[in-house]
Amino acid sequence: MLNKTIIQDLGDYCNNHLWIKREDLIPFSFGGNKARKAELFFKEIDAGRYDCVVTYGSGSSNHCRVVANECCRRGIKCYIISPQEACEKTYNSIMMDMFGAEITIVPVEQVHDTIENKLSKLRNSGLKPFFIEGGGHGNIGTEAYVQCYNEIKAQEKELNIHFDYIFFASGTGTTHAGLVCGQILSADDRNIVGISIARKNPRGRNVVLESIRSYLKDKADESEVQEKTVFVDTYTLGYGKDDFRVDKTIEMVLKKYGIPLDATYTGKAFMGMTEYLKEICNKNVLFIHTGGTPLFFDALRSKA
């Protein structure tokens, strides 16, 4: 289903040259990195003849929207466990309802047990549930971004260009891990910079490192893994936290390029990248637009 997403030339930006890879234009359910990951998860689900899916995420989760949509088109049930602390009504949660997902809201400390209970209940009733970690975390999600990395390399050849830097929003760290694994497996040299949207160091970076080791297994050379994993936590206030600089960035990118960014992920990453670029010049820079378009509209609506 997925061919490849376009890389668009945005021209000079902050003394560097900027391109953007439009993962937000993946042609299913508003696209984004969750759509790319879901495509691989659902290959497993189809091949293994699973008849329902259990996953978790907040009311604003792009992952849950995409997974609910994939389930809906197949006519299989989607069970979402959602933490009470973040179950606000958003365009994503409205769509999850529309797709017929069953959403169970529990305090965050009960999420784990609730998932286990749900899975054993389904199995006991003779069903075959497939579990997807929040955000599409895990080796399958990592694989999706190894593939994306290889796609970027092929596009570099076509465009006859080398990207010195790749920036993107790093959340659960799977996208980040996949890109770094792709780089290590191709023995490339460039800077892959994940801008944290919530987690702080060292924990945030450690989660990325764990995903990389889990994917590469014995092919992982620890010093190389350490060296290639750049996780920047200095530009953002935390998950869902308001920052007027992010708002300004979103407005600028929409006005100047006609591209929507959201306040939770891509807007933060773009702002972080802009700050980072103040320290470098004359480089070829690729920003990966990881999606989240419904969240763009949530933020827009809050202004209405």
Ligand X SMILES: *Cc1c(COP(=O)(O)O)cnc(C)c1O
Output 99 or 122, the one with its CB closest to ligand X.
99
Count of residues in contact with ligand X, rule CB under 6 A? 18
Output 30 or 79, the one with its CB closest to ligand X.
30
Cβ at position 158, least distance to ligand X in Å: 25
Q: Which of 29, 61, 82, 196 is catalytic?
A: 61
Reference 155, options 290, 34, 53, 288; nearest CA is 288
Query: Quick one: which segment of 1-9, 69-77, 148-156, 288-296 binds ligand X (CB under 6 A)?
Result: 288-296
Q: Is 61 among the residues known to form the active site?
A: yes
Task: Figure out which of the listed residues 114, 155, 174, 183 binds ligand X, where binding follows CB under 6 A.
Answer: 174
| Contact flag: residue 292 with ligand X (CB under 6 A) | yes
Site for ligand X in 71-100 (CB under 6 A): none
| Contact flag: residue 211 with ligand X (CB under 6 A) | no
CA–CA separation, 55 and 57 (whole Å) = 7
Sketch the per residue contact string, 8 through 47, with ligand X: x for CB under 6 A, - otherwise. ------------------------xxx-------------
Place of tokens 């470098």: 280
The DSSP bridge pattern shows strands 191-196 and 230-232 to be parallel
Cβ contacts of 272-276, under 8 Å, gap ≥ 24: 272/167, 272/195, 272/196, 272/232, 272/234, 272/235, 272/236, 273/167, 273/193, 273/195, 274/14, 274/249, 275/235, 276/167, 276/193, 276/195, 276/232, 276/235
Cβ at position 170, least distance to ligand X in Å: 5
Place of tokens 């006519």: 75
The DSSP bridge pattern shows strands 102-106 and 16-22 to be unpaired
Which phi and psi angles does 195 have, rounded to 5°? -95, 115
Quick one: tokens of 290? 């990881």
Cβ at position 63, least distance to ligand X in Å: 6
Output 83 or 173, the one with its CB closest to ligand X.
173
| Contact flag: residue 175 with ligand X (CB under 6 A) | yes
CA–CA separation, 182 and 179 (whole Å) = 5
Contact positions vs ligand X (CB under 6 A): 32-34, 62, 135, 169-176, 265-266, 290-292
Active centre residues (catalytic): 61
